[in-house]
Structure 1
Amino acid sequence: MSLNKSALKSAPDMVYDLQWEDGLLVGLLGVSGLIGTVGNAAVILAFCLYRKVRTSANAFILNTSVFDLLTSAVVIPLIISSLMSGLPNCGGACCAFLGFQNLFSLLQSMLSCVLIAFNRYVHVVLSVDTYKRLFGPVKAVLWVVGAWVSGILIMFPAMSGIYGSLGWDAYVQICQLSSDDPASPLFFTNVVLSLYWVVVLAISAFYIRIYLHVRKGAMAVGQHLGHSPQQVSLQAVKRTKHMFYIFFTFLILTCPHAIINYVDFYATLLPEAVFFTIGAIYYLNTAVNPIIYTWTLKEFRQGFKSMVRCRRQILPNPPAGQPAVTRPARVRNVQFRLTVSNRVAQAGPSFALSEVNT
């Protein structure tokens, strides 16, 4: 990608005038920040409060929600402030930290999507023993810590000024990568965006492998071959499908932003309205994730309902075909036997248990 040298020299001297495109971006960012702050805070609170939500697989969702919350509650409001004034809203060190947070959140979203896809691949395709060895409660935390360390290592060239630098981007009026450093665009395209496409390909490969495995098991059942190693539980397949929805939404919202930064990093080819709208859609990902969790994952849906009703525990759903009982009936001198159908198993173990999530 060639650099516009004259534009780089004139960037600090630009006179900023608020246009309607900026107003559109501010409005979209405001909605994303508000919904993302409330939604991600609810996800984190549900994970901390309810054992049913606190599973090994959901630890990767928690990691995404933590950084989405920081983006929604801290980064987006400061971006709005910068767009309104056309100037950095804090000192150089603060702007560099905000730039780090902005890019580090993107890296954590990508790495969490990889970990989720790998978790589903191991659970569906490989053996149960392999899943227990790789994704126990403690090891799930280690995977998350590994994602943090990997993100810091990826950001180190820009953090140290070796290859690009963090700071004020005068072209898009946000704290991200300094426009005064000619290597900043190269770091973004050659490191961050290249990693983005590697992640997309890796996740796609995991889900394609899962699909082929499940399809082979379904064909074995259809041909009346009985139990085969390719057969997996319906619950595991359903949860994997829901996790794919999370990745697909992430891809739809962030892919245009990645493409446009490859072809038009300085926003000189496309109209500003298009460039800013795509940027706002990118940040919309932080607000959409909690909505997807509520829509697709039953444990989060139950956790949110329990929080609204101020319950300390998630109550199990009544068996299918039976109405929910609001008040326990008083029956004296009568003993009930629990049958197998009365025992409702949890969808997955919590971090307090020794098993792993299914």
Structure 2
Amino acid sequence: MDKQDYRQNITVQYCFPDNNASCRKEVKEGPGYMFLCFILSCLSVCTVFLNLLVIISISHFKQLHTPTNLLILSLAVADFLVGLFVMPVNIMQLMDSCWYLGTIACYISPVINFVSMLGSLCSLILIAFDRYIAITDPLQYSTRITIRKTLLSIILGWFSYMCYIIMLLYFNDYFFQSQISTHCYGECVLVIKYSWAIIDLVVSFLAPCCVILFLYSVIFKVAIHQAKAISAVKNGASNKHGAKTIKSSEIKAAKKLATVIFVYLACWIPYYLSSVSVDSLSSSSMVWTVFGWLININSSVNPLIYAIFYSWFRASVKYIVTCRIFETSSSRFSLFLEH
């Protein structure tokens, strides 16, 4: 598309024609933009629907009320918020440069955006610790990891990240004055300065990801050792540590959840690389738009991973879509194949 065609596809108007302080807006028109909006809207709906299935499944069926599944529920809630709030707002800003939701929503929107995304990170950190204890100390797992302790960890984790985001955005004059731009009526642009990007890179990415990768490296090291021990037992060798042999189901669960970690890193690394490569990154820039949507797609992929790897999720979805969850005692239905 040359410059002339591009100008023909963008009509310059005003966000609020009756207001003298109104910003000028750029309404992107043409079949290409309409198709893109349609695809992204479908992605938002699918993200909400798929994660809602995960939320209903784990919340309704008692067989799924385990510490690990509670952490998966926390991850699904974060992804659900992304599909319900973050994606629609991003679609609106992609198709129209104006902000129609008001000043208060302009300041609240970044909080919802970052908290929902960091809620995913919090859940992944806790999942890594959960699998680490399950693999390295299986005999004490049921006493060390309980539903109550897991719920408390989730609440503290989400609350900590919420305080972190609010503090950086609103309770620091340096960041407050430069982060959110509202120079005219109808503008809401978030600007991430280089200093803020460095802090966020360490706090929200490098430190937690190093912890996650370290825990999973230990997990798979122990899993390999135990696999060799099991092989030795099958070959008739003595196993002095047989009581501590890890169940194969635990190893499979760690591998499945490691896939979620890998996808998360693949979606987030481009964003952080771009944020530290420039002096400031604006929410209105093309780089932010492309890599921001790559992060959003991560929230759509997670429930698909569950559908591929977890038989209980596929079984629970059948009960949900056929409305059998409304039957008496449906919460006690068996979701696992009998062996």
TM-score bucket (shorter structure): 0.7 to 0.9
What residue in structure 2 maps to residue 232 of structure 1? Answer: 246
| Alignment match, 1:208 | 217
The answer to whether the Cα contact below 8 Å between 1:63 and 1:144 also exists between their aligned partners in 2 is yes
Describe how 1:1-358 pairs up with structure 2 within 5 A.
17-18=26-27, 26-27=37-38, 29-129=40-140, 131-155=141-165, 156-165=167-176, 167-168=180-181, 178-179=190-191, 184-192=193-201, 194-223=203-232, 224-228=237-241, 231-264=245-278, 266=280, 272=286, 276-312=289-325, 313=330, 314-316=333-335, 319=338
Q: Which 5+ residue runs of structure 1 have no aligned equivalent?
A: 1-11, 321-358
Note closer, same or farther for the CA distance 1:35–1:193 as it changes in structure 2 (3 Å cut). farther
Query: In the aligned structure 2, how far is the partner of 1:197 from the partner of 1:306?
Result: 40
Instruction: Pick which of 97-106 and 78-87 moved more.
Output: 78-87
Gap runs ≥5 in structure 2: 1-20
Check 1:243–1:133 CA distance in 2 against 1; reply closer, same or farther (3 A cut): same
Contact 2:111 2:162 in 1 (8 A): no
Secondary structure of the residue aligned to 1:178 is: strand
Partner amino acid, structure 1, of 2:215 = F
Tell me, yes or no, if the aligned pair for 1:22 and 1:83 is still in contact at 8 Å: no
Q: Distance in 2 between matches of 1:25 and 1:278?
A: 16
- Cα 1:117/1:275, change in 2 over 3 Å: same
Distance 1:110 1:151 in 2: 10
Greater relative contact order structure (CA < 8 Å, 6+ sep): 1
Query: Does the 8 A contact of 1:125 with 1:213 survive in 2?
Result: yes
- Following superposition, the deviation at residue 97 of structure 1 comes to 0.7
Q: Given the superposition, is the C-alpha separation of residues 32 and 257 from structure 1 closer, same or farther in structure 2, using an over 3 Å criterion?
A: farther
| Greater Cα shift, 206-215 or 144-153 | 144-153
Change (3 A) 1:104 1:168: farther
Identity of aligned residues (%): 20
CA distance in 1: counterparts of 2:215 and 2:113, whole angstroms: 27
1:331 is aligned to none
SS of equivalent residue, structure 1 residue 17: strand
Alignment partner of 2:222: what SS?
helix
SS of the aligned residue for 1:207 comes to: helix
User: TM-score under structure 1 normalisation?
Assistant: 0.74
Letter in 1 for 2:147: P
C-alpha separation between the residues in 2 aligned to 1:38 and 1:215? 37
* Paired residue type of 1:107: L
TM-score normalized by the length of structure 2: 0.77
Q: In structure 2, the residue corresponding to 1:293 is in which secondary structure?
A: helix
